[in-house]
Amino acid sequence: MQHSFDVLVLGSGAAGLSLALRLPESYSIAVICKDVLQENSTNYAQGGIAAVLENDDSFASHVQDTLIAGAGLCDPEAVKFTVENAPESIQWLIGLGINFTRSADQNYHLTREGGHSHRRIIHSADSTGRDLEETLIRATKSKDNIRIFENHVAIDLYKKGDRCLGAYIYNEEKDRVEAFSAGKTVIATGGASRVYLYSSNPSVTSGDGIAMGFRAGCKVENMEFNQFHPTCLYHPLAGAALITEAMRGEGAHLKLPDGTRFMPGFDERAELAPRDIVARAIDHEIKRLGIRHVWLDISHKPADFIKGHFPTIYQKCLDLGIDITTEPIPVVPAAHYTCGGIKVDHNGQTGIDSLYTIGEASCTGLHGANRLASNSLLECLVYAASAARHIVACGENAQRQTVPLWDDSRVDKAREEVLLLHNWEEIRRTMWNYVGIVRSFERLKRAKSRIDLLKAEIQDYYSRHRVNRNFIELRHLIVVAELIVEAALKRDKSVGLHYNIDCPA
């Protein structure tokens, strides 16, 4: 089956939906969702969106905080571009009707997170991502020119010469591959944190867009910089439950089992140090003491304050038997954000004609070696706007060429799904054990040898069997794992999120 649209958007998070909404209603737009519309990383984001919104703050300060967190590897022009376009993005969201939290004086409440020198995080209590996604979905569904394809999984881009003409998409409900032709194609598939065994991300974040872009010839950068969120809820029934950084911004303390704080011994900023420092400190204490987790304690704050600022976390923990107003929360680090991705310019252009990448799948230069808290949703919004402007400026929404039908000669379905599940498990465990928070060249070389073997097995499987969702994700995942390991092996200094015990800082 074939489809044809002016713009094909792969991904339904903040980046993808914002771009679709920023385009004129005269454009026909397809939005591809791997799962249901709400299942993406945006929906799980808690903290907020960083933006200079008060007179005592400044663009220069936001820029400086971002550059410091990025450990010298940010692109200063990309940082400046993003920061200066932040207020417009926030006003655009307010115009869509998002319900940001207000203080008693009815001004918007701004919180502070690790690495920020000012309170500049605008938020919706502790569920900003969910409220943002609901706002964008509501606006999207009101547009007749935007068509949503749920439970559709992107397999590969289709190029003719140097131009991207669209993509092949697996329709999970119909169990068939469909060809989507488009004048412009936008990758907005999110990051690759599910390449690790433990992650704060939903299962859809398997690096699909990064892998497809790389196979198509896009330049990929900074894949060695994987951010591990310091505080994920440690509980067998918690799933991917993130404990927002804003809780530390509002005074929560990290503690050992005996109740003593340990962060002041690692950094003068204590719990407000950047995430890589906090994650390594927790990892160090867990390994030093042989414990399973540390504690995050905000119980010294008034109960009404805690319930008012963190209602989602309060209820989540309470459902698991933890009352955060009276007791600490067990937490561990988990893979959270992919700082690298497909290299793009200020307009989200990839270097391949008619192909754009925005959001976590991209590498804009904003994050460098470490992402500053709450700059990620901001990046989605700013680059969605700039990419949309560029698409409109090109004025080629009617110029499409047809993507040929998918070669379905591999008619055999997989007979042993256990092989796929084993490969899934092995990739993620290998990455966690050898390419995690703390690395060494020996660990990285072991990871590389195992990934090479898995890559050969997966390619053999692909040559013989029809695709399904598990296999498509696995095929993307092995590419991302290889990109991360190869980038880490080439980095001869410990910097930002890449910490190699064999390399000097």
Known catalytic residues are 275
Compute the distance between CA of residue 23 and CA of residue 446 in angstroms, rounded to an integer.
47
Rounded-to-10 torsion of CA 426, 429, 431, 435? -140
Whose CA is closest to 167, among 342, 404, 398, 352? 404
Q: β-strands 362-363, 355-357: how paired?
A: unpaired
- Contact (Cβ atoms closer than 8 angstroms) between residue 146 and residue 33: no
Whose CA is closest to 125, among 272, 308, 303? 308
- Contact (Cβ atoms closer than 8 angstroms) between residue 121 and residue 57: no
Compute the distance between CA of residue 466 and CA of residue 403 in angstroms, rounded to an integer.
20
Compute the distance between CA of residue 239 and CA of residue 249 in angstroms, rounded to an integer.
24
DSSP string, 478-503: HHHHHHHHHHHHH--S-BTTB-BTTS
Which residues have CB under 8 Å from 384's CB, separation 6+? 14, 15, 16, 18, 19, 22, 188, 348, 358, 359
* Three-state secondary-structure class, residue 353: strand
φ and ψ at residue 11, rounded to 5 degrees:
125, 140
Helix (H) or strand (E) holding 160: strand 152-160
Cα-based angle 140, 87, 16 (whole degrees, multiple of 5): 30
DSSP letter for 375, please: -
φ and ψ at residue 159, rounded to 5 degrees:
-115, 150
Q: How far out from the chain centre does Cα 379 lie?
A: 11
